[in-house]
């Protein structure tokens, strides 16, 4: 699986858009980009995934660069409940979905 | 409500004892997984199972064992051979292995061995 690189921590004001970057420069053609988040002492929660095109769901948007070497997760109107550790994962679609979690980005939403 | 349950939430054991962590899902998912998380770290895969009566080692399987006798259940046994068993254990499931399926996680069991 491709290694991903994320900033250790970020801050964002409540109500603003939170933009979380992820670098996956060694990603291969059949690896999807997944985003999960983990609120303290809970199990991770799936947010979104994508392959090439930008994706949007009720929680967030995922913007993947044309060369697929990086992506950005966007939380359009951050709330205090979005404070969590956000994990960016590159994962093969064939075989076992063995997710490799790095240390993620600790996002703090400030009132 | 559909979901994954793990019990208990907190578990305390003495060193040298085996302990079994429960994981049950009613999502009708084929694949199930066990992860371990240490403080300030990401998750690491212990074991995973694609179907009943089949399971595969993950990255850190030593000192652990699993069984998959029913689709809904995937218990994890932490044996006395596991050198550092104190950790947060998370169970997950997904529809299968071959697609870009998301994994659904349980609430976790925090195991403390003294």
Alpha-carbon span A108 to B42, nearest angstrom: 18
pLDDT over 70 (residue A109) = yes
Q: Interface of chain A against chain B, CB under 8 Å? A: 32, 34, 36, 41-46, 49, 51, 87, 91, 93-104
Angstrom distance (rounded) from CA B86 to CA A97: 25
**pLDDT tens by residue, B19-36:** 999 999 999 999 999 999
The answer to whether the beta carbons of residues B45 and B58 sit under 8 Å apart is yes
Q: Region A74-97: what's the mean pLDDT? A: 86
Q: pLDDT tens digit string along A22-73?
A: 999 988 888 899 999 999 889 999 999 999 989 999 999 999 999 999 999 9
pLDDT at A97: 66
Structure-model confidence comparison of residues A110 and A97, the more confident one: A110
Inspect the interface and report whether the beta carbons of A41 and B101 lie closer than 8 Å: no
pLDDT at A1 exceeding the cut of 80: no
A-chain CB neighbours of B105 within 8 Å are 43-45
Residues B51-66, mean pLDDT to the nearest whole number? 93
* Nearest residue, CB atoms, A99 vs list B98, B99, B103: B103
Is B43 in Cβ contact with A95 (below 8 Å)? no
C-alpha to C-alpha distance for A61 and A54, rounded to whole angstroms:
7
- C-beta of residue B62 within 8 angstroms of C-beta of residue B47: no
Asked if omega into B8 is within 30° of 0 (cis), the reply is yes
Contact check, Cβ <8 Å, B43/A99: yes
Q: Band the pLDDT of B40: cuts 50, 70, 90.
A: confident
Cβ contact, residue pair A103, B41, below 8 Å: yes
The overall average pLDDT reported for chain B is 92
Distance of alpha carbon B34 from its chain centroid, rounded?
3
Q: Where are the alpha helices (DSSP H) in chain B?
A: none
Give mean pLDDT, residues B38-57. 91
């Amino acid at each position: 699986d491709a290694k991903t690189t994320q900033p250790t921590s970020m801050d964002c004001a409540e109500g603003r858009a939170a933009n979380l970057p992820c670098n996956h420069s060694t990603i291969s053609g059949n690896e999807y980009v997944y985003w999960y988040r983990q609120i303290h002492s809970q199990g991770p929660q799936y947010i979104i995934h994508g392959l090439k095109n930008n994706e949007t769901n009720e929680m967030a948007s995922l913007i993947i660069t044309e060369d697929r070497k990086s992506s950005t997760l966007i939380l359009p109107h951050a709330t205090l409940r979005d404070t969590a550790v956000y994990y960016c994962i590159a994962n093969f679609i064939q075989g076992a979905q063995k997710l490799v979690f790095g240390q993620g980005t600790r996002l703090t939403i400030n009132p | 409500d559909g979901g994954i349950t793990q019990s208990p939430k907190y578990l305390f054991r003495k060193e040298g004892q085996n302990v079994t962590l429960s994981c049950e899902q009613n999502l009708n998912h084929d694949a199930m997984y066990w992860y371990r998380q240490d403080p300030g770290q990401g998750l690491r895969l212990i074991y995973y199972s694609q179907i009943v009566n089949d399971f595969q080692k993950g990255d850190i399987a030593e000192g652990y064992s699993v069984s998959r006798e029913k689709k809904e259940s995937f218990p994890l046994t932490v044996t006395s051979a596991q050198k550092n068993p104190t950790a947060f254990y998370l169970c997950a499931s997904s529809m299968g292995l071959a697609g870009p399926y998301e994994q659904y996680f349980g609430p976790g069991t925090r195991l403390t061995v003294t």
